[in-house]
Amino acid sequence: MISIESGDVLGLAAAVSAAVETGLLGLVAEGSLTAATAAARLGVDPTATARVYEVLVAARLAIREGEAYALAPELAAMHRAFPGGLTLTAMLFASTAQYVRTGVPAWSMDGDVAQRGEAYRSTVAGLAGMFAGASAAFASAFAPRVPLGARVVDVGCGSGVWGLSLLERAAGATLTGVDLPPVLEVFRETAGARGLADRIGTVPGDMHEVALPEADVVILANVLRLEPPPRAAALLARLAEAVSPGGTLVIVDALAEGTPDRDVARAVYALNLSLRTRGAGVHAPAQVAAWMAEAGLAEVAPLDFGVWPGAVAAWVGRKPR
């Protein structure tokens, strides 16, 4: 990431905003093209288009080869990984001013159980691609702590990207996915595609109510942020009860901190979350650690495996024998 001088932030923000509003960002997300071609397709001024694209190039958001512009490789990878691509993400952030005026999010992905089931059934496959690298890094870092033949439960499993990545690296382990029935359809499909269908099981239902099987490792990944503080604390206490003595509870969320890059990533993700949910919020890492300790877990400590996306990191706690 490059360093942007404070005085240039407004200019960069203006260029990005214009690229989103006019569709210039969407065009370079589709493929390489010249400013003249982009302007002609959108019916805008070619000189102004080039000025905006040049700001994106200088900020390492785009690249220029001759007279043609394209997304920077890292941003292009994000476009492919994000559900709906950068265009949908840009549309979400474009609603920020309206959110500031009204306090009402553009979308609502945290409705009742049925609404959440349908909303996440259509997005978890895309999220699997988005978090593929992070989940692999997590699994590589955490797998040495997993005992042979461990029982792993992935609560709010979604596509299973976190639990399945661990299963691939944990010898003899089995994995139970807990989620709403529509979402578990995607989990089973993903497990089958990864050759792990014979090592998984499922528990359909609301994670706050369904009976959880006892496990050596319980994972809650990118779920806690969807719960307001009282429900988040209660959920962690519930999960801790399902951990067998000597086992571990792993919380993966936007928990990386300590550097300007990570602080920006967490703050931007918190805004993103507020734009698409009504009651969700990014919890402070220290608060998550405190809830885990209150739930009776010991040796609560962070597990850092990278910043992107969304300042993702984990906290791990062990249940005393």
Work out the mean pLDDT of the chain and round it to a whole number: 90
Q: Mark whether 236 and 302 lie in a shared domain.
A: yes
Nearest-5° angle of CA 222, CA 223, CA 225? Answer: 90
CA distance 299 to 152: 19
pLDDT at 110: 62
Residue 17 predicted with pLDDT over 80:
yes
Residue 123 predicted with pLDDT over 80:
no
Mean pLDDT across the stretch 242-257?
A: 96
Q: Does residue 86 or residue 163 have the better pLDDT? A: 163
Report how far apart, in Å, the C-alpha atoms of 268 and of each of 89, 251, 263, 309 are: 12, 20, 9, 11
Q: Is residue 167 part of a domain?
A: yes
Which of 80, 98, 133 is at the close of a domain? 80
Q: Mark whether 129 and 237 lie in a shared domain.
A: yes
DSSP summary character for residue 178:
E
pLDDT at 235: 97
Which of 38, 55, 80 is at the close of a domain? 80
Residue 257 predicted with pLDDT over 80:
yes
Q: Is residue 88 part of a domain?
A: no
Q: Is residue 41 part of a domain?
A: yes
Mean pLDDT across the stretch 147-165?
A: 96
Residue 6 predicted with pLDDT over 80:
no
Q: Mark whether 230 and 145 lie in a shared domain.
A: yes
Q: What percent of the chain has pLDDT over 90?
A: 71
Q: Is residue 221 part of a domain?
A: yes
The confidence band for 117, taking pLDDT boundaries of 50, 70 and 90, is low
Total structural domains in the chain? 2
Write out the E strands in the chain.
Answer: 33-34, 62-65, 68-71, 151-155, 174-179, 200-204, 215-221, 243-253, 298-303, 313-318
pLDDT tens, position by position, 175-191: 999 999 999 999 999 99
Amino acid identity for residue 37 in this structure: T
Q: Does residue 276 or residue 53 have the better pLDDT? A: 53
Q: Mark whether 280 and 186 lie in a shared domain.
A: yes
CATH number (domain holding residue 39):
1.10.10.10
For residue 73, the enclosing domain spans: 6-80
Q: Is residue 278 part of a domain?
A: yes
Report how far apart, in Å, the C-alpha atoms of 76 and of each of 42, 70, 203 are: 21, 9, 36
Radius of gyration for the chain, computed over Cα atoms and rounded to the nearest angstrom: 21
Nearest-5° angle of CA 101, CA 107, CA 110? Answer: 115
Q: Is residue 97 part of a domain?
A: no
Residue 209 predicted with pLDDT over 60:
yes
pLDDT at 88: 81
Amino acid identity for residue 71 in this structure: L
Mean pLDDT across the stretch 300-320?
A: 89
Record the pTM: 0.85
pLDDT at 308: 67
Q: Mark whether 67 and 152 lie in a shared domain.
A: no
pLDDT at 129: 78
Residue 234 C-alpha from the chain's centroid: 22
Cα within 13 Å of Cα(134), Cβ side: 26
Q: Mark whether 227 and 309 lie in a shared domain.
A: yes
Q: Mark whether 299 and 156 lie in a shared domain.
A: yes
Q: Does residue 240 or residue 257 have the better pLDDT? A: 240
Residue 278 predicted with pLDDT over 70:
yes
Answer for the pair 308, 254: CB distance below 8 angstroms, yes or no: no
The confidence band for 98, taking pLDDT boundaries of 50, 70 and 90, is very high
Residue 267 predicted with pLDDT over 70:
yes
pLDDT tens, position by position, 69-95: 999 988 887 787 776 778 888 888 889
pLDDT at 131: 87
Mean pLDDT across the stretch 21-44?
A: 95
Mean pLDDT across the stretch 179-205?
A: 95
Which of 63, 80, 97 is at the close of a domain? 80
pLDDT at 314: 97
CATH number (domain holding residue 133):
3.40.50.150
